[in-house]
Structure 1
Amino acid sequence: MSAVPYRRVLVKVSGEALMGPDAFGLHPPTVTRIAADLADARALGVELAVVVGGGNIFRGVQGAAKGLDRATADQLGMLATVMNALALEAAIEAAGTPARTMSAVAMPTVCEPYSRQKALSHLAKGRVVLLAGGTGNPFFTTDTGGALRAAELGCGALLKATNVDGVYSSDPKADPAAVRYERLTHSEAIDRQLGVMDAAAFALARESRMPIIVFSIQEPGAVTAVLRGEGRATLVTA
């Protein structure tokens, strides 16, 4: 534990990361690998909360673009995050680490409703807490939900797990001239309109002075490497 500077962190895992090589849904070997990485991170002694996206199943913005009412589309996206969280919970438990899914959208026959006090209790008992349902409200992304939960749970850092190894000036998959940043401030990320997270998430993290570490979750052991300061990542801080 002495090698890890954080007592508690929140990891934001995108829904797309759970697809693996597939074009849609959950790729079981990828889910198993990410779950094992999260379990290993917990074994370092770090209290671990996880916010899961839903873009591998349904993305609210895309649904609205196809004619759905935006609020309804976002509610469908919230349900997708619950599906992903339950899949990760099962995989983390199979890896030998206790886990609990909590949803901001109440569905008590499926998982626990989210409350800050109960989430803190689970964390103190060594359980990985998977936070689904976003903020429970439409028009807010799971990135914003991650920044909100990280702040209210008193996390030392928000780890943004993506498909690229940091923050770039533009999409490195589409622009070979994209510049990778080693370090940024929250204000710089907002002013430069860097798309790795939405502006509301960066603003909330800035207000709570929450460092954000952006890294790729494509390789095994990525979360533990970042926690030890060994991984390739971009640090966004005050």
Structure 2
Amino acid sequence: MLQATEDQPTPAYRRVLLKISGEALMGDQGYGLHPPTVQRIAQEVKSVQDMGVEICMVIGGGNIFRGLQGSAQGMERTTADYMGMLATVMNALAMQSALEGIGVYTRVISAIRMDEVCEPYIRRRAVRHLEKGRVCIFAAGTGNPYFTTDTAATLRANEMACEAIFKGTKVDGVYDKDPVKFADAVRYDTVTYDDCLAKHLKVMDASAIALARDNNLPIIVFSLDEPGGFRGVLAGQGTYTRVHH
């Protein structure tokens, strides 16, 4: 049973999946991995694990290779998507290294078998890792082309019986339009899955939102750029948007 203390408030959820884009790892660079940014995100994850929360992660690959952009340049879509999946494995290994460097036991679990590099995805084994307090980073998407890492995150969150998906972005929630481009953009405190789909709000892609809706899995959108933001939201503080029925 999780107990609140003066330093450690009782978290709102006991098992969560953190979804971040590959671009979140590149800092202010235009490409690749920015080690200080990877370290900072690892510290955020550790601060939440220290609250007694079990954590899974899914990281995109857009900082290294984005399948859709590859296919737009004449590459066959399936090949481009597989290359994108391999990019997510590289990001997952970088995050594993950063987490283990600060004492967090971590497993990278791939939907595509590469046993010399990481574990294959076996659901019961992954659940056991979580129960033992290890962070599980799910890599290579769903293992299928035409599915995004958003969909992979929702799929794995359901399979792991997570209580919520935390979508870390550059802004502090879901807005009616891009707050970077429009000063009059309005932030939602809560929004329904159906509104996200009908209004084309950029939370996750449509198949990911539909899968979350069908399994009543809330999506919490918050700013990963805000120091302590992940821990704060789990402690019931900070600014975020909750997507639900």
Provide the C-alpha distance between the structure 1 equivalents of 2:183 and 2:76, rounded to a whole number of angstroms. 37
Measured on the aligned residues, the alpha-carbon RMSD in Å equals: 0.9
Q: Which residue of 2 aligns with 1:61?
A: 68
Trace 1:44-193 onto structure 2 (pairs within 5 A): 44-193=51-200
Could you tell me which amino acid in structure 2 is paired with residue 177 of structure 1?
A: D
- With the length of structure 1 as denominator, give the TM-score of the two structures: 0.98
Quote the offset at 1:175 in angstroms: 2.5
Could you tell me which amino acid in structure 2 is paired with residue 18 of structure 1?
A: L
Please identify, of 223-232 and 70-79, the stretch whose mean Cα deviation from structure 2 is larger.
223-232
Provide the C-alpha distance between the structure 2 equivalents of 1:168 and 1:34, rounded to a whole number of angstroms. 23
Could you tell me which amino acid in structure 1 is paired with residue 24 of structure 2?
A: A
Q: Which residue of 1 aligns with 2:7?
A: none
Question: 1:88-147 CA distances to partner (integer Å, 9 max, x unpaired)?
Answer: 001001111111100011111110011111110100110000010000000011011101
Quote the offset at 1:231 in angstroms: 2.1
Provide the C-alpha distance between the structure 2 equivalents of 1:141 and 1:87, rounded to a whole number of angstroms. 20
Quote the offset at 1:169 in angstroms: 1.3
Question: 1:22-63 CA distances to partner (integer Å, 9 max, x unpaired)?
Answer: 110100000000001101111110110001101111111111
Task: Note if contact 1:205-1:211 (Cα within 8 Å) is conserved in structure 2.
Answer: yes
Moved over 4 A (4+): none
Aligned length in residues: 238
Please identify, of 225-234 and 78-87, the stretch whose mean Cα deviation from structure 2 is larger.
225-234
Provide the C-alpha distance between the structure 2 equivalents of 1:121 and 1:90, rounded to a whole number of angstroms. 21
Residue 23 of structure 2 is aligned to residue 22 of structure 1: no
Could you tell me which amino acid in structure 2 is paired with residue 68 of structure 1?
A: M
Could you tell me which amino acid in structure 2 is paired with residue 60 of structure 1?
A: G
Could you tell me which amino acid in structure 2 is paired with residue 34 of structure 1?
A: I
Q: What percentage of aligned pairs have identical amino acids?
A: 55
Provide the C-alpha distance between the structure 2 equivalents of 1:62 and 1:172, rounded to a whole number of angstroms. 24
Please identify, of 133-142 and 175-184, the stretch whose mean Cα deviation from structure 2 is larger.
175-184
Task: Note if contact 1:34-1:220 (Cα within 8 Å) is conserved in structure 2.
Answer: no
Provide the C-alpha distance between the structure 1 equivalents of 2:122 and 2:181, rounded to a whole number of angstroms. 41
Provide the C-alpha distance between the structure 2 equivalents of 1:115 and 1:13, rounded to a whole number of angstroms. 22
Secondary structure of residue in 2 paired with 1:72: helix
Provide the C-alpha distance between the structure 2 equivalents of 1:62 and 1:173, rounded to a whole number of angstroms. 23
Provide the C-alpha distance between the structure 2 equivalents of 1:231 and 1:79, rounded to a whole number of angstroms. 34
- With the length of structure 2 as denominator, give the TM-score of the two structures: 0.95
Q: Which residue of 2 aligns with 1:233?
A: 240
